[in-house]
Amino acid sequence: PLKSGPISFTRKVGVGPSDHINVGCECDYQRYFKAFELQQIDQKSPKLTLLFRNTKPVTPMAMAALRREGRRFVPLVSSPRPINAIQSTLAPAEEQVGLGVRSISTQIVRNRMKSVKNIQKITKAMKMVAASKLRAIQVRAENSRGLWQPFTALLGDTPSVSVKKNVIVTISSDKGLCGGINSTSVKISRALHKINSGPDAECKYVVLGEKAKAQLIRDSKKHIELTMTELQKNFLNYTQVSVIADDILKNVEYDALRIVFNKFQSVVSFLPTTATVLSPEVVERESEAGGKIGSLDSYEIEGGETKSEVLQNLSEFQFSCVMFNGVLENACSEQGARMSAMDSSSRNAGDMLDRLTLTYNRTRQASITTELTEIISGASALEG
């Protein structure tokens, strides 16, 4: 025989000697279904299915209750998010909530509306913060572009050069909620790693930012040579970035440094960019071979320094300038993407709030109509 416990109806196949009832919203079956016996539990079904066998004569009251409860709970469970707080009228009176079923559903919608309003306030505040930070960084990012452009004219930017030791410097952000700028940088870094890896060539990662580190460490942990985070915790200036560039040059052996960052174009668009910085030996070799790098012999060296020393200083200074521009461009792209993402989130929260308001008004009106109907029916019964 069935024991006392919660069961719920989502769909009624039929009423007869053998009926299938799927489990959904809670109710108590001890009161009316003592005439049924649990025969089988189907564990393979996504929903728990109970097969009942009629062992005793069923009263008309139990049959009517089964039909009513089956019809009542079908629309609730077929909805994408069933309301678990709604209980069956078959439950004992002490288990029912005093406000009634429709009052509970109205309260749930009201709480949901309050949550959406709070989220909308947060997203609007984050949008304004991102806009203020964007204005502060944008001018500095545009001014920093003039630092590395003379080096490109002198030493060139040759991403297709073939070397043995490649180091990919991936610049990303430490915080999320900024669209897909970090995923884009990681995808380009993985593509560069795949292109420049081979039996005679090795490729390592230097990761700047928490988000790129979290993604690359999943499948490329052994290739990560150095990681740095919290770059934007303090005010970004050339001194700070030059110290980071110096640490990278001291701890990593390289023939070519490939810096991956997002170049800022507008608030709604950014361009994934790769800048290549060659070592002094590779620059001298490419210059003598007559490659894409122009001949350096046409320049006169003053101060008594050798050509190798000058190329060493130029290479280090070029890397620090490209890093400074890349960090500022990526920070500017991050704030623009966050501003756009928060604007989209605020609009979506407004649309959701409109839908919830409509649902709340319909539920409240239905509750009022039902109460009026019950009052009128009770008055008519008393008069009769």
CA–CA distances in Å: residue 275 to residues 160, 293, 299, 318 = 11, 15, 24, 11
Look at residue 6 in the predicted model and tell me its pLDDT.
42
Q: Which two tokens stand for residue 171?
A: 């610049």
Q: What is the DSSP annotation of 188-218?
A: HHHHHHHHH-BTTBEEEEEEESHHHHHHHHH
Which of 55-69, 92-106, 259-273 shows the lowest mean pLDDT across its residues? 92-106
Q: Average pLDDT, stretch 277-295?
A: 74
Contact (CB, 8 A) for 55 and 34: no
CA atoms within 13 A on the CB side of 117: 9
Which of 42-56, 214-228, 252-266 shows the lowest mean pLDDT across its residues? 42-56
Look at residue 345 in the predicted model and tell me its pLDDT.
94
CATH 3.40.50.720 correct for 148-293+306-336: no
Look at residue 244 in the predicted model and tell me its pLDDT.
92
Per residue in 320-363, pLDDT (tens digit) is: 999 999 999 999 999 999 999 999 999 999 999 999 999 999 98
Look at residue 68 in the predicted model and tell me its pLDDT.
59
**How far, in Å, CA of 236 to CA of 92, rounded?**
67
**How far, in Å, CA of 376 to CA of 384, rounded?**
12
Q: In the structure, what pLDDT confidence band is assigned to residue 296 with cuts at 50, 70 and 90?
A: low
Look at residue 73 in the predicted model and tell me its pLDDT.
44
Residues of the chain with pLDDT > 70: what percent?
70
Q: For helices 307-383 and 280-288, what crossing angle results, to 10°?
A: 120
| H-state helical runs in the chain | 60-78, 101-155, 181-196, 210-219, 238-251, 280-288, 307-383
Look at residue 54 in the predicted model and tell me its pLDDT.
42
Q: What secondary structure letter does DSSP report for 117?
A: H
Give the number of other CB atoms < 10 A from CB of residue 17: 10
pLDDT(112) > 60: yes
- Sorted by where each begins, the domain ranges of the chain are 148-293+306-336
Contact (CB, 8 A) for 178 and 132: no
Look at residue 107 in the predicted model and tell me its pLDDT.
87
Look at residue 333 in the predicted model and tell me its pLDDT.
94
**How far, in Å, CA of 66 to CA of 12, rounded?**
8
Residue 217 CA, chain-centre distance (Å), reads 18
pLDDT(298) > 80: no
Residues of the chain with pLDDT > 90: what percent?
40
pLDDT(203) > 90: yes
Look at residue 42 in the predicted model and tell me its pLDDT.
42
Look at residue 383 in the predicted model and tell me its pLDDT.
83
**How far, in Å, CA of 86 to CA of 107, rounded?**
12
- The larger pLDDT score, comparing residue 245 to residue 62, is at 245
CA–CA distances in Å: residue 311 to residues 26, 163, 280, 305 = 77, 18, 5, 10
